[in-house]
Amino acid sequence: MNRQEAAQLLPLIEAFIAGKTIQYLLPAEKSQALGVWKDMNDVLFTDIPQNYRIKPEPREWFANLHHDKSGTIHTTKENSDFAERMQRPDEKVRVREIID
């Protein structure tokens, strides 16, 4: 490992210490698909730094929907609540991304 690789691994190590999940990019022959990230319980960091990442947090947003199939999307619950008072939507939906 050289200094540049160590610098690239440092944020991953710090995240692992802080309790974040570290993921490893599986080789195509093991995953049967490209770009498959696997959660790791014990991290050895034996591969190049680009094959590791901190598992992304799921994104969340809110939709205020109306009976005419129109609506508005909001990135925070506070904005959705404010718009609800102004628009009176028929339905409010909270959407959370699923990350495998």
Overall number of domains in the chain:
2
Which pLDDT tens digit goes with each residue over 64-77?
A: 888 888 888 888 88
Q: Can you give the pLDDT at residue 29? A: 63
Q: Can you give the pLDDT at residue 32? A: 61
Alpha-carbon distances of 30 from 25, 37, 42, 72, rounded to whole Å: 10, 11, 19, 42
User: Do both 10 and 42 map to the same domain?
Assistant: yes
Q: Decide if pLDDT at 90 tops 60.
A: yes
User: Do both 66 and 31 map to the same domain?
Assistant: no
- Give the whole-angstrom CA distance, residue 93 versus residue 73: 9
**What does the block give as tokens for 5?**
């690789």
User: Do both 80 and 65 map to the same domain?
Assistant: yes
| Average pLDDT, integer, range 10-35 | 84
User: Domain span at residue 36?
Assistant: 3-54
Query: Which residues touch 100 (CB under 8 Å, ≥6 apart)?
Result: 37
- Give the whole-angstrom CA distance, residue 37 versus residue 28: 11
Q: What is this structure's pTM?
A: 0.65
- Give the whole-angstrom CA distance, residue 38 versus residue 24: 5
